[in-house]
Amino acid sequence: MIQYEGRPLAMLIAREGLREILLATLVLGALAAGLGLVHWALAIPPLIVWIWVLSFFRDPNRHGEFAPGQLCSAADGRVTEITEIEHYAPLGGPAIKIGAFLSIFNVHINRAPSSGTVRAISYQRGRFLDARHADSGRLNESNTLLIDPDEPMPGPVEVRQVAGKVARRIICHAKVGDHLTLGERFGLIKFGSRTEVIMPRLAGTQVAVKVGDSVRAGVTILACQPLREAVNAVTPIPTAPIPDVPEPARAAS
Query: At 180, which helix (H) or strand (E)?
Result: strand 179-180
Domain count, the chain: 2
Edge-to-edge strands, sheet with 70-72: 70-72, 221-224, 206-207
pLDDT, tens digit, 9 for 90 and up, residues 75-90: 999 999 999 999 999 9
Q: Are 20 and 117 within one domain?
A: no
List CB contacts of 158: < 8 A, sequence separation 6 or more: 90, 91, 144, 145, 146, 147, 196, 197, 198, 199
Q: What is the pLDDT of residue 86?
A: 94
One domain for residues 30 and 80: no
Residue 194 within any structural domain of the chain: yes
Domain end, chosen from 16, 34, 56, is at 56
Bridge partner residues of 113 (DSSP): none
244 inside domain: no
Residue 9: DSSP 8-state: T
Please check whether residues 41 and 80 belong to one and the same domain: no
Instruction: State residue 104's pLDDT score.
Output: 82
DSSP line for 52-96: HHHHHTB---------TTEEE-SSSEEEEEEEEEEEEGGGTEEEE
In sequence order, the β-bridge partners of residue 224 are 70, 206
Same domain, 229 and 158: yes
Q: Are residues 111 and 216 in the same domain?
A: yes
Pair (31, 93) in one structural domain? no
On whether the CB atoms of residues 225 and 71 are closer than 8 A, the answer is: yes
CA 210 from chain centre, in angstroms, equals 18
- Considering the domain architecture, whether residues 109 and 42 belong to the same structural domain is answered as no
Given a contact cutoff of 8 angstroms between Cβ atoms, the answer to whether 146 and 243 are in contact is yes
**Residue 100 and residue 34 in one domain:** no
**Structural domain span for residue 130:** 70-234
| DSSP-assigned beta bridge partners for residue 187 | 110, 172
Catalytic positions, please? 193
Residues 102 and 217 in one domain: yes
121: β partners: 145
My answer on whether 118 and 85 are in the same domain is yes
First to last CA, the chain: 26
Q: What is the pLDDT of residues 140-181, one digit of tens each?
A: 788 999 999 998 898 899 999 988 665 567 889 999 999 999
Q: Is residue 253 domain-resident?
A: no
Model pLDDT for residues 175-227, shown as the tens digit of each residue: 999 999 999 999 988 776 889 999 999 998 999 999 999 999 999 999 999 88
Amino acid (one-letter) located at 233: A
At 214, the amino acid letter reads S
Q: What is the four-CA torsion angle of 194, 199, 204, 208, rounded to 10 degrees? A: -20
For residue 177, the SS3 value is: coil
Whether the per-residue pLDDT at 17 is higher than 70: the answer is: yes
The pLDDT tens digits for 32-60 are: 899 888 988 899 999 999 988 887 788 88
Residue 189 belongs to some domain of the structure: yes
SS3 of 101, please? strand
Q: Tell whether 79 and 145 lie within a shared domain.
A: yes
Which pLDDT score, from 0 to 100, does residue 169 have? 78
Using one digit for the tens of pLDDT, what is the confidence trace for 81-125? 999 999 999 999 999 999 999 888 888 899 999 999 999 999 988
In a domain, 243, yes or no: no
Residue 117 lies in a domain: yes
Establish if 63 belongs to a structural domain. Answer: no
**239 assigned to some structural domain:** no
**Cα dihedral 183, 188, 194, 195 sign:** negative
Q: Is the pTM of this model over 0.75?
A: yes
Question: How are the residues of the chain apportioned to helix, strand and coil, as percentages rounded to the nearest 5?
Answer: 20, 35, 45
Same-domain pairing of 32 and 103: no
What's the CATH code of the domain at 135? 2.70.70
